[in-house]
Amino acid sequence: MKRIAGMLLVVLAVAGVLWADGALSINGAGATFPYPMYSKWFDEYHKKNANIAINYQSIGSGGGIKQVTEGTVDFGASDVTMNDEQLKAYQDKHGTGILHFPTVLGAVVPTYNIAGVEASLNFTPEALAGIFLGKITKWNDPAVADANKGAKLPAEDIVVVHRAEASGTTFIWTDYLSKVSEEWKNTVGAGPAPKWPVGLGGKGNEGVTGTIKNTPNSIGYVELIYAESNKIPYGSVKNASGVFVKPSLSAVSAAAAGAAKAMPDDFRVSITNAPGKDSYPISSFTWLLIPQKFSDAAKRDAIKGFLKWALADGQNYAETLSYAKLPKEVVAKEVKAINKIE
């Protein structure tokens, strides 16, 4: 399987080289969530630098980590940071490290379908954890209803819908629930495909949305971009400062700014449940995974050049494509980190 994937990538790389007509070709693979952003970036960057062509395969975050560790691509991309074990595996194989570079931000929002409820609902962390643990089973449970005095919540069973396939979206959602609920952390945990205590699995954002639309009294979660572009109802979530925040790009950037002060040097940080009264608590960076050492100096310089561009001019494309921009503090820190690439 890996060999086949590797061969395919080689073929694609060769095709890319031929197509780019002698231009330097750089290959990456990974997360699907930032793919529209990345493909726009690579395209714009190629227009400005005709001698550099960056190819990107959106095969999923886990795939990105696997491919970069295998050495079949020049860089990876992921919605989830590599853990210590994965970093060690890379170190052992290549004798050098992997650097994480945050590129843009996204958010995950609770979405629902309740007959007769038109208003946007408010969710406390306790309500979300309770519902997804299967402890809160009725919509009119005080844990949900007390935060929504105006809405007429029915005495109906809650149907939970989650992603069927492993995904970065699920990781962000479960990472959040692990931070706000001790019970969730101990029994389910954070991961791209946990063992769900309750609920139905829908395939992809569209599978989750479809199941929710078809199932009365259901709740699920999707990416903010997806919810906005498909005009599905989504609720506000109470953040660490006790304020109910409606998900939006600025609320996501606020969460990133709140976390920026405590940003570690390797950028491996989770910003779910971030401090700050404007922060939307279920937000996350998405990262490029760049090897620390390149044997090919031309490739190294091209990637460094691209990163500098993406952190400066590139950020201007983010909001038109519904991604949240990086806060200035994070950009400044990353620009320094680019020098670590050798």
Partner 1 sequence: MATTTTTVPSAGPVAGSRSFLSRLRQGDEIARLITFLFAASVVLVTLLLVLELWQGSVLPRHKFGFNFFRTSVWDPIFEQFGALPFIYGTLVTAAVSLLIAVPLGIGAAIFLAELAPARVSDTLEFFIDLLAAVPSVIYGLLGVFIVVPLMRQYLQPVLKHSLGFLPLFQGPAYGVGFLTAGIVLAIMVIPYIISVSREVLLSVPRDQREAALSLGSTRWESTWKVVVPFARNGILGSIFLALARALGETMAVTMVIGNTPTISASLFSPGYSIAAVIANEFTEATGNLYLQSLIELGLVLFILTFILNGVARLLIVATSQRGRGMGNA
Q: How far is the CB of 322 from partner 1 (least distance, A)?
A: 23
Residue 233 in tokens? 């109802």
223: which strand partners? 108
* Residue among 45 and 75 whose Cβ is closer to partner 1: 75
* Residue among 111 and 211 whose Cβ is closer to partner 1: 211
Q: How far is the CB of 1 from partner 1 (least distance, A)?
A: 8
For residue 119, the one-letter residue type is: A
Residue 163: CA count within 13 A, CB half-sphere: 22
For residue 220, the one-letter residue type is: G
Phi, psi of 163 (to 5 degrees): -70, 135
Q: How far is the CB of 114 from partner 1 (least distance, A)?
A: 16
Q: Are 245 and 272 in contact (CB under 8 A)?
A: no
- Which residues contact partner 1 by CB under 8 A? 59-63, 65-66, 86, 157, 159, 164-167, 188-196, 199-203, 207, 210-211, 214-215
* Residue among 62 and 281 whose Cβ is closer to partner 1: 62
* Residue among 154 and 305 whose Cβ is closer to partner 1: 154
* Residue among 60 and 125 whose Cβ is closer to partner 1: 60
Buried b (16+ CB within 10 A) or exposed e, 250-264: ebbbbbbbbbbeebe
Total count of residues recorded for the chain: 342
Q: How far is the CB of 158 from partner 1 (least distance, A)?
A: 11
Q: How far is the CB of 338 from partner 1 (least distance, A)?
A: 27
* Residue among 102 and 202 whose Cβ is closer to partner 1: 202
- For the CA atoms of 135, 140, 144, 145, the dihedral, rounded to the nearest 10 degrees, stands at -160
Q: Are 128 and 177 in contact (CB under 8 A)?
A: yes
Q: How far is the CB of 60 from partner 1 (least distance, A)?
A: 5
End-to-end CA distance of the chain: 31
